[in-house]
DNA sequence: GTCTATAGCTTGATAGAC
DNA sequence: GTCTATCAAGCTATAGAC
């Protein structure tokens, strides 16, 4: 008790993350989330008006850590940009190789909510992807390559393609093939 | 009445397709599918032992038409292979531009069922993607390009990346950017 | 092979005490 | 702000008639 509102809220979001990401959004009940967060359902509904709001809060909370992890995967790789982009995909492939990895949470949310186009979580997913695309564009532009916006977008397409195909085939080799193509996209031609 | 077993079964699958693809798998109840198919739930359970079996049958029924449509999009485009690959993505972008399009049914099923790794529908999704990848490899190999398997895989990564990103952003321009990159991947270098 | 009817459980959300 | 208690509706699946 005497736990302030902020930490209760975060505890609920953390429980929602474990279940929404681990089992799927529609498969996770408010009962299960309440149990995992060690609060009652009534407390969840005090902090979030509805399950849809909790879904949106879950995705919003994933934005920053996901962005930071991927940016670090690129930044911590030594070498020029093509080498760094390859490093990003190699780190991704490594992360995919654990049983805990179950796809990109943003793609999976968009997939589950495809029948509800006006869902508040959809714009959060879109903004997250656009944010990383813009970050990549800056990195590419800094090398002096032409068409940095197009190249950044194509790297993103390979990144999400890797997430989709590894989810389907359960084979991180697809991420490495994507990394090769992505590195070539940011390589200066002679 | 006097409808044979085959057509009842197909009618159920057709109703399941409309709801599973349109609203999502977990969001579609057996009640709703029965109503749409104009049969009772008991009839569905006569033809399919469980909802999971119906999900697998739904995906299996999507394999051939999806494959044929995409193959036709490439075959019906005039020109060399890079032009045909670009045509494939242009046709895809056109299809995505309708309100009925709600992503790739196979990716979405894998996303919804990510929490159930042993689900029978998962291997159907994997086989479908591998089938088109192999078909692309044949087309690429026929042009004499090196590493046809790798190039086919990379085109697939861009294809699924386009499906994922257009689902998230609702902007077919992403599919065209993917098409440019895919065409470059199957272009002979000087 | 298809029906009516229902079991048995889970769902998202709410009432009202403290 | 968090609790106990509960609702009405929805869910997958089954029993048994014809």
Domains in chain B with CATH codes: 1-48 (1.10.10.60), 62-185 (1.10.357.10)
- Residue A167: list chain B partners with CB under 8 A: 107, 110-111, 114
Tell me what pLDDT residue B3 has.
Answer: 54
- Give percent of chain A above pLDDT 90: 95
pLDDT band at B31 (very low <50, low <70, confident <90, very high): very high
Who contacts A23 (Cβ-Cβ below 8 Å, separation ≥6)? B115
In angstroms, the CA A122 to CA A107 distance is 10
Residue A175 is predicted with a pLDDT of: 98
pLDDT at A190: 67
User: Cβ contact (<8 Å) for A114 and B167?
Assistant: yes
Q: Tell me: pLDDT of B2 over 50.
A: no
C-alpha torsion angle, residues A37, A38, A39, A40 (rounded to 10):
100
What's residue B56's pLDDT? 98
Q: Hey, how many other C-beta atoms are within 10 angstroms of the C-beta on A144?
A: 8
Q: Tell me what pLDDT residue A1 has.
A: 47
With a cut of 50, say whether residue B1 has pLDDT above it: no
Q: Is the dihedral of CA B117, B123, B124, B125 positive or negative?
A: positive
Tell me the nt nearest to B45, Cα to C1'.
D13
Place of tokens 């008991």: B42
- Which among A178, A106, A139 is positioned nearest to B181, based on CA atoms? A178
Nearest nucleotide (CA of B30 to C1'): D12
Low-confidence ranges of chain A (pLDDT < 70): 1-6, 190
Q: Per residue in A11-56, pLDDT tens? A: 999 999 999 999 999 999 999 999 999 999 999 999 999 999 999 9
Q: B189: pLDDT confidence band, cut at 50, 70 and 90?
A: confident
Residue with tokens 């193959």: B71
């Amino acid at each position: 008790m005497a736990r302030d509102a902020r930490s209760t809220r975060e505890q609920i979001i953390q429980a929602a993350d474990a279940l929404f990401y681990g089992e799927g959004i529609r498969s996770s009940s408010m009962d299960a989330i309440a149990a995992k967060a060690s609060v009652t359902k009534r407390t969840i509904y005090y902090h979030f008006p509805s399950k849809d709001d909790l879904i949106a809060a879950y995705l919003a909370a994933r934005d920053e850590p996901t962005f930071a992890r991927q940016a670090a995967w690129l930044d911590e790789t030594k070498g020029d940009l093509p080498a760094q982009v390859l490093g990003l995909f190699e780190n991704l492939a490594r992360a995919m190789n654990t049983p805990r990895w179950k796809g990109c949470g943003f793609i999976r949310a968009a997939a589950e909510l495809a029948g509800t186009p006006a869902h508040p979580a959809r714009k959060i997913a879109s903004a997250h992807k656009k944010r990383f695309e813009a970050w990549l564009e800056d990195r590419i532009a800094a090398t002096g390559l032409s068409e940095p916006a197009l190249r950044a977008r194509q790297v993103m397409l390979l990144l999400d393609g890797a997430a989709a195909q590894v989810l389907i085939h359960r084979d991180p080799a697809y991420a490495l093939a994507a990394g090769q193509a992505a590195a070539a996209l940011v390589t200066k031609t002679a």
